[in-house]
Amino acid sequence: MAAVSFRDVRKSYTPELQVIHGVSMDIKDGEFIVILGPSGCGKSTLLRMVAGLETITSGEIAIGDRVVNNLEPKDRDIAMVFQNYALYPHMTVYDNMAYGLRIRGLSKDDISVRVKKAADILELDKYLERRPRELSGGQRQRVAMGRAIVREPQVFLFDEPLSNLDAKLRVQMRAELQALHRRLGTTSLFVTHDQVEAMTLAQRMIVINAGRAEQIGAPLEIYANPATVFVASFIGSPPMNLVPRDGRLLGIRPEHLEPCAASDAMLTIDVDLIEPLGADILVYGHVGDRDSARVAARLPADALAQAGKLALRYDPANVHWFDPKSGLRST
Amino acid sequence: MVENRPWLTFFSHTVLILGVIAVAFPLYVTFVASTLTLEQIMQVPMRLLPGDQLIENYSQVLTGGSTKGSKAAVSHMLVNSLVMALVIPLGKMSISVISAFAFVYFRFRLRMFFFWMIFITLMLPVEVRIIPTFKVIADLGMLNTYAGLTVPLIASATATFLFRQFFMSIPDELAEAARVDGASPMRFFWDVVLPLSKTIMAALFVIQFIYGWNQYLWPLLVTTDESMYTTVIGIKRMMVGSDSANEWNLIMATAILAMLPPALVVMFMQKWFVKGLVETEK
Amino acid sequence: MEKRVVFRSAWLPYFLVAPQIAITVVFFFWPAVQAVWFSFQLQDAFGLKSQFVGMQNFAHLFNDRNYLTSFKTTALFSGLVAFFGIAISLLLATMADRVLRGAMAYKTLLIWPYAVAPAIAGVLWAFLFAPSIGIVTYVLKGWGVDWNWIINGDQAMLLVVIASVWKEISYNFLFFLAGLQSIPKSLIEAAAIDGAGPARRFWTIVFPLLSPTTFFLLVVNIVYAFFDTFGVIDATTQGGPGQATNILVYKVYHDGVKAADLGGSSAQSVILMFIVIALTVVQFRFIERKVEY
């Protein structure tokens, strides 16, 4: 196990086309880090640079105390789980897991012990002689993890490993991943575009937008104190409301709005849509013109919501201010 | 079938049966002729039921060829044909699969230049460069050798393209997983790429086996020695005239022997054969 | 389309392409260059001296009535082979696609001539049509047809066409059958509901949808008739009688190998190369178009 550090890491394909614009971060030994961002933001590129599948244009990536920029993937002591699992279709589950160990020249007995142990952890012992195409999606996913586990690497790299699973399996695998990390304690980097996955899995997360690290921190800390307009509007469902006020942007989470008398209103919206969800009600509306700021409010299930104007108030302590030009937090 | 029209179905079967008869009739007559004596064939019309000379005719050609034309034993020709039919597909696949691997999984200087070089060979079949190719073989001392018979025919743009096409369809992640697992390029080639190519190789093998077995112009050019004749050439050499001068019973026995191996391959490996045909023309 | 992943090595890729490139250079490019070189030369009868004569060999060819006849013969021959090869196999494939019972058996029985070498196909048909003993000749005589392809040029042409078509039907049949089976059944059903009978459906729906296959087979069959039928001709008519079946490829071989006219044969090779290049370009244009479908 090892710490991982990024020192102003940049990646460009051509001088004009830069996709990672200088990411710096220190990942502690044994930490579970989620790299979160919309598709095309460069999060997978960042992970693949750690793996050695993409070259590093400038900056440094270190695993443990070794700078790995010029090392081949096999020499970096990492293991990776791919989005489509990338299992060797012609090999059995056992051989898929054993392949990397055989290349490293481990003895037959060692390989067998390690594969059996991983299969045990992942409940794959019954499937060792099957081919990948004879397995379900969830089982394939486990084989992909098994292939990473048997290597006993210093770092696990996960590239959206759950995105090909259906919703129910995804929740289950999420729990298993957490359990696995508790058990093995291996430093892990996990790429996803799914904020729920990020919030539930991450010890710390790094939010990427257009090749820049917007914010790094614990999930709840990021939720409570988004550093930029992007983070505010990317995290949370529905995301934080952003209303222009006095040349600045006022940010307030939907759950921090409550209905009030028209005379107490701090924010009045024209209601467009009401979604009763059972536990609570989501009310969507807009302030001023239709084209101006959209606002969502999460109200208690017993709140009276109806078309027309809705007066809302909030606790000023829950307000975030952003500078619309820089997109940064201003207080 | 959209509507039920019995006469149309009847008509379809009739056409197909006529087609099968037209396709099979020459083969049947050939087989019958190979079981008759020469005198029986010369009687017009020839009888259309098999005779009793099967063993005599076949053992004659297998051991001694014909008596009027080439006297080379057909058994030896069959061996020569088999060498061509095996060496050409195996050689072709070996050099094509490695060059396609290089084209797909490496970036190197002159890559496109080499690729186009191979592509252009599509436009240079043996038939258009008969004399100079013959000269090259002669200069290299490859006349009447197995190498001369096979090596010039194993360069193949189609096989290279076919493998390239197939490699392009292998997911990138598989190569990445192999890299992370620590596999070198050649290890990846042996452990992943080749096993995945098994199907396509089987299909290619069937097609190329037939191609190699049925070669005609090339062996005609580079073999003058009877011991190097292939079966197809042997038949030609047994024909001394075009009509009654020939020992048709022996020629037909040889023809059956020459047709049998590729026909069996087509019939019994039909699945691979059809796949090979359709894939190579994509 | 390019791979995202590549391996790095300074020498390995060259090592991997080397065998293919070596064979290509020695047995394809070098002879092709020589063919072009020889085509500008005139050699004496013993091959001892040669002199550069520019375009003279080509000029010679285009003033040679035999060569021009050979062009016409080739056009006629490949036209007939392509037309009958395609028409007959389309008929058979359409029928095989119609019948539910026995389609696989018909397929197996119809495809095996692909395995027969062109030269053997020639021998088989030459035997059936042999002027004095052939069984088909006998039947034709009964019908009052005087059949002797050894002296009758048209009959010789017919013989090589029949032998060539017979061998090529299986190939065309397989492609047509695959093409027919890829036409969605719902289209045919929709046409039937619109009131189109089987014949009308074939010409207005099936045939247009098969046109890419048909065009592809047309090119392939012409290439086949141009080059691969060498064996058929050599095993039967050897270009005769007279020049009746002397197609271009056979003439290259005959002039170069039998008559040892190096310059003339090479000039013919060069012209053939241009024809192949044209056909290949047509074929690839077509494949590009097919991709867009």
B251–C contact, CB cutoff 8 A = yes
Contact assignment for A80 to B171 by CB distance below 8 Å: no
Higher pLDDT among residues C282 and A159, named by residue: A159
So what's the pLDDT on residue C60? 81
Q: Could you give the count of Cα atoms lying within 13 Å of B234 in the half-sphere of its Cβ? A: 35
Q: Does B196 touch chain A (CB under 8 A)?
A: yes
Chain B residues touching C226 at Cβ < 8 A: 127
Give tens-digit pLDDT for C11-53: 999 999 999 999 999 988 888 888 888 888 777 655 666 777 7
Task: Report CB contact under 8 Å: B131, C266.
Answer: yes
B 105-144: CB under 8 A from C? 105-108, 111, 114, 117-118, 120-125, 127-136, 140
CB count within 10 Å of CB A173 equals 20
List of chain C residues whose C-beta atoms are within 8 Å of the C-beta of residue B155: 20, 23-24, 27-28
Q: Residue B171 and residue A86: Cβ atoms within 8 Å?
A: yes
DSSP secondary structure of A179-196: HHHHHH--EEEEEES-HH
Q: How confident is the model at residue A235 (pLDDT cuts 50, 70, 90)?
A: very high
B181 touches chain A (CB under 8 A): yes
What's this model's pTM, rounded to 2 decimal places?
0.84
Banded pLDDT at A51 (limits 50, 70, 90): very high
Chain B CA closest to residue C190:
B2
CB B273 within 8 A of CB C108: no
Q: Kindly tell me if the per-residue pLDDT of A189 is higher than 50.
A: yes
At A5 the pLDDT is 93
Residue C240 pLDDT > 50: yes
pLDDT at B241 over 80: no
* Chain A contact present for B8, CB below 8 A: no
Give residue B221's pLDDT. Answer: 86
Task: Check whether C163 has a pLDDT greater than 90.
Answer: yes
User: What CA–CA distance (Å, rounded) separates C262 from B130?
Assistant: 11
Q: How far is B264 from chain A (nearest CA, A)?
A: 29
Pairing of strands A66-67, A4-12: unpaired
Q: B9 pLDDT band (50/70/90 cuts)?
A: confident
Integer CA distances (angstroms), A69 to A9, A22, A75, B161, in order: 10, 15, 11, 36
Residues of C within 8 A of B160 (CB-CB) are 20
Helix (H) or strand (E) holding A7: strand A4-12
Using one digit for the tens of pLDDT, what is the confidence trace for B29-79? 999 988 888 888 888 777 888 888 888 888 888 887 777 777 778 888 999
The distance of B98 to chain A (nearest Cα, Å) reads: 20
Q: What is the mean pLDDT of chain B?
A: 86
Whether the pLDDT of residue C292 is over 60: the answer is no
Distance from the Cα of residue A201 to its chain's centroid: 8
pLDDT in tens, C42-95: 776 556 667 777 777 788 888 888 888 888 999 999 999 999 999 999 999 999
ipTM metric: 0.88
The order of strands in the sheet holding A4-12 is A18-27, A4-12, A58-63, A66-67
User: End-to-end distance of chain C based on CA atoms, in angstroms?
Assistant: 18
Contact assessment for residue C57 and residue C42, using Cβ atoms and an 8 Å cutoff: yes
Which residue, among B4, B8, B23, would best test binding to C if mutated, counting the most C CBs under 10 Å from its CB?
B23
Nearest CA to CA, how far is B194 from chain A (Å)?
Answer: 10
Minimal Cα–Cα distance from A23 to chain B, Å? 23
A-chain residues within 8 Å CB-CB of B177? 80, 82, 86-88, 147
- Select the more confidently predicted residue: A303 or B167: B167
Which chain B residues are Cβ-neighbours of C32 within 8 angstroms?
A: 124, 129, 132
Question: How far is Cα A165 from Cα A156, in angstroms, rounded to an integer?
Answer: 20
Question: Which chains does chain B touch, 3 or more C-beta pairs < 8 A?
Answer: A, C
Taking residues C195-216, what's their average pLDDT?
85
Exposure string of B196-227, with b = 16+ CB inside 10 Å and e = fewer, is bbeebbebbbbbbbbbbbbbbbbbbbbbeebe
pLDDT value of residue C92: 92
Instruction: Chain A: list its partners (3+ Cβ pairs within 8 Å).
Output: B
**3-class DSSP assignment, residue A30:** coil
Give the model's pLDDT for residue A319: 92
Largest Cα span, chain A: 79
Q: Is A25 exposed, middle or buried (0-12, 13-18, 19+ CB in 10 A)?
A: middle
The pLDDT, as a whole number, for residue A50 is 94
Asked whether residue B100 carries a pLDDT value surpassing 70, the answer given is yes
What is the chain B residue with the closest CA to C228?
A: B127
Note whether B256 contacts C: Cβ–Cβ < 8 A. Answer: no
Collapsed DSSP state (helix, strand, coil) of residue C170: helix
pLDDT bucket at C293, cuts 50 / 70 / 90: very low
Q: What is the mean pLDDT of residues A187-194?
A: 94
